[in-house]
Amino acid sequence: DTAVSQTPKYLVTQMGNDKSIKCEQNLGHDTMYWYKQDSKKFLKIMFSYNNKELIINETVPNRFSPKSPDKAHLNLHINSLELGDSAVYFCASSQSSWTGGKMDYGYTFGSGTRLTVV
Amino acid sequence: GENVEQHPSTLSVQEGDSAVIKCTYSDSASNYFPWYKQELGKRPQLIIDIRSNVGEKKDQRIAVTLNKTAKHFSLHITETQPEDSAVYFCAAIPSNAGGTSYGKLTFGQGTILTVHP
């Protein structure tokens, strides 16, 4: 039973198209993220939602728009795709809470979506 | 914001040798430091973590050490095996005075570890 699942796994599309990636987690976590991993393997945060509220919005072109219909789902819509958008996009979730004075973080990543723009 | 530097970028060892990966961070408010392993074509997976109130943590062949004064932490893998070959990432989370940072992990650049049989 996959904890964080994202679809599709592969996405090949032409420049200028609009595409969406979907993510769902069944861990009961309250926070979800989108990370972008470029060709050099660097992992950079794009967005984060806590209980459906956008809390992190890094310097990302406004062609990228996240949507969280509920705390178990976080989707990423990309308009007017460009060649530079080609990367692997990872969804992740965590429970960001204080437990007895200690933070209890545990990131679980989805399997990734390899986006190729041609 | 937080900045995490990771070295070396590539590390090649013989099976059975030890491997050490080092990271430094900039934000003294950071208090949680996880390490992730990413095999080729797979997702990053948490392998060990350490909190700022602990100096060292071990789990079988892997260990992590933390020096808060110097703002650096390291991953140690002993008796390396070919299946340890992967990209390893360190990360750090700062928190504000209220104790909440919503888990914004800042990752190091990654270390490609190759273990030769």
For B20-41, the pLDDT digits (tens) are: 999 999 988 888 899 999 999 9
Is residue B101 pLDDT above 90, yes or no? no
H-type helices in chain A, by residue range? none
The answer to whether B103 contacts A55, with C-beta atoms less than 8 Å apart, is: no
Sorting pLDDT into bands at 50, 70 and 90, what band is A56?
confident
Q: Give the integer Cα–Cα distance in Å for A113 and A91.
A: 9
Residue A32 has pLDDT above 50, yes or no: yes
Contact B96, B74 (CB under 8 A): no
Q: CB contact, 8 Å: B34 with chain A?
A: yes
Taking the CA of residue B77 and the nearest CA in chain A, the distance in Å comes to 21
User: Per-residue pLDDT tens for A2-29?
Assistant: 799 999 999 999 999 999 999 999 998 8
**What's the token pair of residue B16?**
């059975």
**Whole-angstrom Cα distance, residue B74 to residue B26?**
15
pLDDT in tens, A68-101: 999 899 999 999 999 999 999 999 998 766 444 4
